[in-house]
Structure 1
């Protein structure tokens, strides 16, 4: 077997144009690892944050990146080889994973490639009921929604706040999802509905039909109506957009409610939240093969759907990042690997 492969790498920070499809050294599985022949790769915001050099982070938070770097974390594929200490996976198994996150923030996840070496603890059987494209679209976005809303699944210190993030009860409660048509958002809508919540989806009008199909009970088109002006007595807001504007949702929450900003940087409403009796909490999604196996059952039986915005060949990764930069993504963008 060849010791080389094709991968998408970049040799300096910049826009989508820095991504190059080129020959790279094929990895070998180390102890505790599985070599996966990749069939599809899911895109996520950390992919372009890495490509841009994490310029939205304070300099002291930016991980040191070694060039050439390979972006990406989310894969679906077939086991090619296993380390001697692995007995849970075998050659030929179909698997999926979010690879080395957040430990691989500096480009060490290396998913935009024909082969990826994956810690076995981060790997799970691919749900048989979906194809590789949809399986690759799930890991980071679905695990984010799951770890925020259902179960964090780890006891790692929270780098974003002093206390451990704790999901809140949602059965019979009113849950608002902002950015409901995006990667994390469309999963959050489905998980909230699965757990028995009354779901309010906020997105642009073109997404209404899809979001109602996914379980939204109410829909707010933010292009015509500011959601914070009309939504009231909400128990939980999942703000998948987050950032400095997340505080606007505080007025939608009842006392005792909670606001979970997925992207918390720039949020400045903590004092106001305290006065209103509202909990603000966030966390950092982490790789988990065990949780992927658990959510895989929901993907397998159709309880949770993976919506695909668009697909591109691995060789056209630049175009996929250009698509992402245009925004208004419905579901997930996925790269296919022949």
Structure 2
């Protein structure tokens, strides 16, 4: 069974049903039922037109559900008068489904879950395992999201920026369970970049590829984190780096700079440096200045402080860090790093220990705890 094919056909089937009058929750349920049927039937009798088969079977599933629901009798009469769909429409409405799943009324967590389910074609179990929550909890989250967007038309312009943020949230979840969310986000972003005539989706794709290229070097065999400066650059995926840089250059050439293109430019400069010492920190600071102009987000200011500390010295970095709010996650860890580089080991050790208590995950907490212990050992007689 070609699972990748079924997942790629899922959004087309959902949008075909919605355009024929099904509401989103009913269309999504019907397509999921059709996918189960495909898994049962296709190994022995694969259709010549898989997309058309999936739409047809999903439409029949929808009609069956409508007949069983007394409250929908009136709509059943209307839909039964229409001819059953034959081949799937040539137009790919996946882009509109991206917009629907990134509806502004949804929370980020719900938008991510609905995108993975409807556009990515993942099962509720797979999504739940990826996010380390019970399947029932994820099912409720997805059901609420479907009810929220039910009735929203597919033909209204959507917000590409919101879709990109949702996909980046998926990418940053990384890997857990049997679903590689980073790879899934890359796959979905590739499809989006083809459909949207704007360089920002390409910028996000380049950013994902450049980050993903370093994945193998980010952790040691024991699972501990390896900071960028200490990573074995021989383990970086040069093919992904080359592809990411090429996509970024084409996007930048369109002269419509956006935040993901600027972030990708920073990632490309890191990837281009043969060693950590040869990193062009001055140019990285310039790109963070562009990001400040585009977004002025606290995270950008935090990352810029690190870059300033590398380009102009740790005291300049600490001065830049002073403008970053104290409650921002990872600010304390950055302060610890800059104080260590400035030679203030006592303060750095204390701040590493504080940062460990606020770490968002176990791997980061362990890394920061080891940093504090390392400095305390250096200070001991």
TM-score range, shorter chain: under 0.3
Structure with more of its chain in strand, by fraction: 1
Greater fraction of residues in helix: 2
Q: Is the radius of gyration larger for structure 1 or structure 2? A: 2
- The two structures have a TM-score, normalised by structure 1, of 0.25
Name the TM-score, length of structure 2 as normaliser.
Answer: 0.23
